[in-house]
């Protein structure tokens, strides 16, 4: 027994010394399933490409779980060098000035060549401060698009090659689908907050908050109770009553995908990164892709859609050697080859122009129709104050509030104006609290 113990200790020590020759860079991420396997493949590619650093990826669960784990680890002094944080956590990370190491500063300090202009503006805009400095490293960004069932369209007497362009058309198409008996439901959706509130506003060039949607400072207030948002929520509630629309649940709307896959609903909104899931599950029918619809009478629509997904934040408190590794790894990660590979595999946006160009040269978009809808949509127009994204503290909670009030609306407890007024009121309370705790 003692001997076994002694040998294993020796083995352990040997292993430890072999590792310590290379600097370890820990990366906590939230990519499960196939995307997680791809991520590990990318990391393995990096580790094999050089001798100096070893990146160690660790899967930490969902986005909120990963972020919470990293924050708890930071409080205990055990934080990883890199953590993947979803877009709504951006406000929280930005306000934690002593805890994060802004990417632009890291790259400059480590003498790593870095050109923010190489990234797609709609992606980087979300993650830069008011002076235009990039604070975190874009990794997986997506944007919502429309998926539709071509077979059902045909059965309903609609042109299977033409997705609805406007909400008016969407209503009319849905009605025709139901009345013709082609499908029992017109459309369903994931993400009421992200798609039918935030993106709806950006797509129509309307603000969802003051001070450039919160980019201008912690004093921002929500303003999602404008006429456009009220009109859209009112329509969704009415469409639900008419049976045109079926609710897919709060947050990411887990009930929505099965409704589309089982051909119950003919049209479905979800992230462009949901494409792999759609392709894998929609085997019994042909899928078409389209941009988000807009209200034709709203001036300036369609503008451009905004992104979701996550970026990589660097946490403070590590040795310089580790940060050199982080900088080197980020350069590898944003190289056109790695990015194009990741983009084509996962359905996330290519974060750099070069990766987009490379994918086009490789003929990816021709071979996989619908994959470039997301890129066309975020680059449709130059982002305005209302369409470069949003930045509010406590936004994870505000998203929950949006879901809750939307449920109250669908349950008939409130009208659209009342529900959105409540979102603004409850959200602003959280924003003021966030301002007091973080604004020092």
Query: Contact positions toward another protein, by CB under 8 A?
Result: 64, 68, 71, 74-75, 92, 95-99, 247, 249-250, 255, 258-259, 262, 264, 394, 396-397, 400, 403-405, 407-408, 410-411, 413, 436-438, 440
Shortest Cβ 64–another protein spacing (Å): 5
Shortest Cβ 171–another protein spacing (Å): 21
Q: Which is nearer to another protein, 159 or 255 (CB)?
A: 255
Q: Which is nearer to another protein, 42 or 256 (CB)?
A: 256
CB atoms near residue 326 (< 10 Å): 28
Q: How far apart are CA 260 and CA 90, in angstroms?
A: 31
Q: How far apart are CA 161 and CA 168, in angstroms?
A: 18
Q: Which is nearer to another protein, 32 or 157 (CB)?
A: 32
Whether residue 36 contacts residue 59, with contact meaning beta carbons closer than 8 Å, is answered with yes
Shortest Cβ 101–another protein spacing (Å): 13
C-alpha count within 13 angstroms, C-beta hemisphere, residue 324 = 8
Strand partners, 29: 59
Shortest Cβ 79–another protein spacing (Å): 10
Q: Which is nearer to another protein, 114 or 247 (CB)?
A: 247
Shortest Cβ 435–another protein spacing (Å): 11
Q: Which is nearer to another protein, 14 or 411 (CB)?
A: 411
Shortest Cβ 262–another protein spacing (Å): 8
Whether residue 291 contacts residue 145, with contact meaning beta carbons closer than 8 Å, is answered with yes
Q: Which is nearer to another protein, 292 or 422 (CB)?
A: 422
Please measure the distance between the N-terminal and C-terminal CA atoms of the chain and give it in whole angstroms. 58
Q: Which is nearer to another protein, 158 or 416 (CB)?
A: 416
Q: State the residue for tokens 């603000």.
A: 207
Best CA proximity match to 90, nearest among 258, 306, 297:
306
Q: How far apart are CA 88 and CA 72, in angstroms?
A: 18
Shortest Cβ 255–another protein spacing (Å): 5
Whether residue 29 contacts residue 51, with contact meaning beta carbons closer than 8 Å, is answered with no
Q: State the residue for tokens 């001997």.
A: 3
Q: How many residues does the chain have?
A: 440
Burial environment of residue 315 by CB neighbours within 10 A (0 to 12, 13 to 18, 19 or more): buried
């Amino acid at each position: 027994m003692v001997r076994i113990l002694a040998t294993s200790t020796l083995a352990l020590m040997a292993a430890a010394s072999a590792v310590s020759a290379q600097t370890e860079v820990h990366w906590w991420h939230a990519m499960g399933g196939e995307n997680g396997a791809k991520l590990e493949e990318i990391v393995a590619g990096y580790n094999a490409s050089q001798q100096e650093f070893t990146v160690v990826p660790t899967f930490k669960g969902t986005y909120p779980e990963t972020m919470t784990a990293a924050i708890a680890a930071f409080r205990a002094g055990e934080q990883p060098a890199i953590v993947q944080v979803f877009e709504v956590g951006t406000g929280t990370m930005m306000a934690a000035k002593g805890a994060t190491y802004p990417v632009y500063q890291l790259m400059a300090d480590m003498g790593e060549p870095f050109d923010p202009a190489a990234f797609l503006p709609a992606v980087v805009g979300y993650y830069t401060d008011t002076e235009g400095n990039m604070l975190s490293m874009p990794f997986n960004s997506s944007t919502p698009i429309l998926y539709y069932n071509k077979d059902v369209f045909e059965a309903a007497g609609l042109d299977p090659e033409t997705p609805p362009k406007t909400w008016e058309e969407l209503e009319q198409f849905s009605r025709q689908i139901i009345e013709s008996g082609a499908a029992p439901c017109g459309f369903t959706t994931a993400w009421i907050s992200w798609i039918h509130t935030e993106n709806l506003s950006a797509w129509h060039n309307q603000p969802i908050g003051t001070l450039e949607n919160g980019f201008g400072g912690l004093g921002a207030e929500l303003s999602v109770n404008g006429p456009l948002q009220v009109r859209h929520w009112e329509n969704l509630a009415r469409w639900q009553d008419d049976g045109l629309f079926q609710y897919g649940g709060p947050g990411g709307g887990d009930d929505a995908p099965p409704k589309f896959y089982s051909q119950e609903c003919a049209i479905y909104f979800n992230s462009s990164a949901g494409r792999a899931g759609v392709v894998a599950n929609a085997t019994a029918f042909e899928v078409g892709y389209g941009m988000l619809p807009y209200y034709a009478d709203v001036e300036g629509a369609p503008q451009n859609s905004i992104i979701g997904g996550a970026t990589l934040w660097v946490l403070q408190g590590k040795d310089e050697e580790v940060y050199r590794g982080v900088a080197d790894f980020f350069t590898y990660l944003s190289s056109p080859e790695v990015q194009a590979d990741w983009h084509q595999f996962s359905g996330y946006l290519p974060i750099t122009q070069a990766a987009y160009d490379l994918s086009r040269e490789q003929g990816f978009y021709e071979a996989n129709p619908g994959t470039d809808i997301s890129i066309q949509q975020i680059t449709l127009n130059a982002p305005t104050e209302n369409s470069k994204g949003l930045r509010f503290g406590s936004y994870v909670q505000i998203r929950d509030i949006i879901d809750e009030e939307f449920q109250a609306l669908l349950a008939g407890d409130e009208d659209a104006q009342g529900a959105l007024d409540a979102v603004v009121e409850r959200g602003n309370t959280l924003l003021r609290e966030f301002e007091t705790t973080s604004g020092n």
